[in-house]
Amino acid sequence: MKISVLQVGPIGTNCYLLEDESTNAAAVIDPGGEGARILDRAKADGVEIKLILLTHAHFDHTGGVDELCRALPGVPVYLHPADAQLLGTQVFPAIGVDTVPYGEGDTLTLGSLTISVLHTPGHTPGGVCLQVEDALFTGDTLFQGSMGRTDFPGGSYEQLMASLKRLGQLPGDYHVLPGHMGASTLETERKTNYYMREAMA
């Protein structure tokens, strides 16, 4: 497994290229813009994009979807239905393609990798985290030392705190790969993240 990160779009959202090195299959997680740059990175790495995965539907995580899909016809775009039904409203702009629903308990296969979906609402109603081996892609649910905003339409502080508690209670440790800012580990966040500590109290 190889993971690359590109800061894309107007506010430098973390877009991840998840690669299965045994099959050269790749997934793009949260293409917030600059689709051509993402495609160039995949080409440079010699991988074929098989999946586009959205942790939620805010514009800064979806801005590159249309460009990617024009270049990659037939590649599915996965999004939780609670966010999919909000597309075309306020901070959830239309993305120009149909999405495939995924949610709690679902698993996706990328070559030899298994991607597990955890529904973690609060930042948005359909926010998800994605777990692959020891990596946890947390979107805008959990940040290094912080958490996502809840003052946008569809946000809920109570739901987000419940989602943080759930993540904190996962067994073992994970590399936390968030939608903004730097990477962390789950154990570090359990010990030092004020919001996660409050959620688990």
Note whether 36 and 28 are within 8 A (CB): no
Q: How many CA atoms lie within 13 A of 74 on its CB side?
A: 2
pLDDT digits (tens, 9 = 90+) for 30-84: 999 999 999 999 999 999 999 999 999 999 999 999 999 999 999 999 999 999 9
- Mean pLDDT of all residues in the chain? 97
The reported pLDDT for the residue numbered 90 is: 85
Rounded to whole angstroms, the Cα distance separating 7 from 33 reads: 9
Note whether 155 and 124 are within 8 A (CB): yes
Say whether 171 sits in a helix, a strand or coil.
Answer: coil
Tell whether the model's pLDDT for residue 164 goes beyond 90.
yes
pLDDT digits (tens, 9 = 90+) for 2-24: 999 999 999 999 999 999 999 99
Query: How many structural domains are present in the chain?
Result: 1
Range of the domain at 151: 2-200
pLDDT digits (tens, 9 = 90+) for 70-123: 999 999 999 999 999 999 998 899 999 999 999 999 999 999 999 999 999 999
Rounded to whole angstroms, the Cα distance separating 32 from 107 reads: 23
pTM assigned to the model: 0.98
Dihedral Cα 106, 133, 143, 91, nearest 10 deg = -30
The reported pLDDT for the residue numbered 47 is: 98
Sequence letter at residue 142: L
Rounded to whole angstroms, the Cα distance separating 12 from 10 reads: 6
Q: Where does the chain show beta strands of DSSP type E? A: 2-8, 13-20, 25-29, 48-53, 77-79, 100-101, 107-110, 113-119, 128-132, 135-139, 142-143, 146-147, 175-178, 184-185
Q: What is the mean pLDDT of residues 153-171?
A: 97
Domain with residue 167: its CATH number is 3.60.15.10
Note whether 147 and 107 are within 8 A (CB): no
Note whether 31 and 56 are within 8 A (CB): no
Residue with tokens 């430098």: 12
